């Protein structure tokens, strides 16, 4: 079976840890993908330096002054680069209707908790792990989902769990989930490339 490389774009606001893992996986032959473009809303994002150092085109698109213009520019840039699947890697802005429409069910995000229980507006980063501990849950994990116009709402692509251990704090649980996320994202993308993990229609 011939695996067609995924044509990837990335959105990152800070260091882009999942993006870094994906790019490194393509370089060592562990992922059938072509990283084509990395975009940030933050000119000083270290994700941009990493992408540039690894031969991936970069672009800064400010979003606050004119979100509609930013949406149009982002959508056009991804299309011009030949991107077919967009990976969110700590992108801290809501996407606009043009980009969401052009890439419906082709924008993937990883959420540091199990959806839908520990998701929604305001549920990000440390808050997710605090909520898991407060709920007395026996497990947490990460969820890869397609992005739509509601926070943490789009179709679930894959989940991976980790145990919540006795004595866990939000810090220790966050460390366990964070350590698992990049590899989980890479493995899920490879399953998509090989046709083992279908995307929503």
Q: Looking at 111, 129, 145, 153, which residue is catalytic? A: 111
Give bridge partners of residue 111 from the DSSP assignment: 143
Burial of 7 (0-12, 13-18, 19+ CB in 10 A): middle
Listed in sequence order, the residues at least 6 apart from 183 whose beta carbon sits closer than 8 Å to its beta carbon are 21
Q: For a pLDDT cut of 70, what percent of the chain falls above it?
A: 99
Count of CA atoms in the C-beta half-sphere (13 A) of 148: 8
What is the mean predicted confidence (pLDDT) over 12-31?
96
- Domains of the chain (ranges; CATH) run 6-193 (3.40.50.170)
Say if residue 3's pLDDT is above 80.
no
Residue 181: strand pairing partners: none
Among 133, 129, 131, residue whose Cα is nearest residue 166: 133
> 39 pLDDT band (50/70/90 cuts)?
very high
Q: Binning pLDDT at 50, 70 and 90, where does residue 150 land?
A: confident
Q: For residue range 66-75, list pLDDT tens digits in order.
A: 999 999 999 9
pTM over 0.75: yes
Query: Is-catalytic flag, 129?
Result: no
What is the rounded CA–CA span in Å between residue 52 and residue 58? 6
Is the pLDDT assigned to residue 12 strictly greater than 70?
yes
């Amino acid at each position: 079976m011939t695996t067609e490389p995924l044509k990837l774009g990335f959105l990152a606001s800070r260091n882009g840890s999942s993006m870094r893992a994906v790019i490194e996986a393509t370089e060592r032959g562990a992922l059938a993908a072509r990283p084509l473009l990395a975009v940030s809303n933050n000119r000083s994002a270290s994700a941009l330096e990493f992408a540039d150092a690894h031969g991936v085109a970069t672009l800064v698109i400010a979003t606050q002054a004119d979100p509609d213009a930013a949406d149009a520019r982002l959508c056009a840039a991804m299309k011009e680069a030949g991107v077919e699947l967009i990976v969110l890697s700590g992108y801290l802005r809501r996407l606009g209707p043009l980009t969401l429409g052009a890439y419906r069910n082709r924008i993937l995000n990883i959420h540091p908790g199990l959806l839908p229980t520990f998701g929604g507006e305001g549920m990000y980063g440390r808050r997710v792990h605090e909520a898991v501990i407060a709920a007395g849950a026996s497990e947490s994990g990460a969820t890869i989902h397609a992005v739509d116009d509601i926070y943490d709402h789009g179709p679930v692509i894959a989940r991976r769990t980790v145990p919540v251990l006795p004595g866990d704090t939000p810090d220790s649980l966050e460390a366990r989930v964070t350590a698992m996320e990049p590899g989980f994202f890479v493995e899920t993308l490879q399953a998509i490339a090989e046709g083992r993990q279908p995307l929503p229609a």
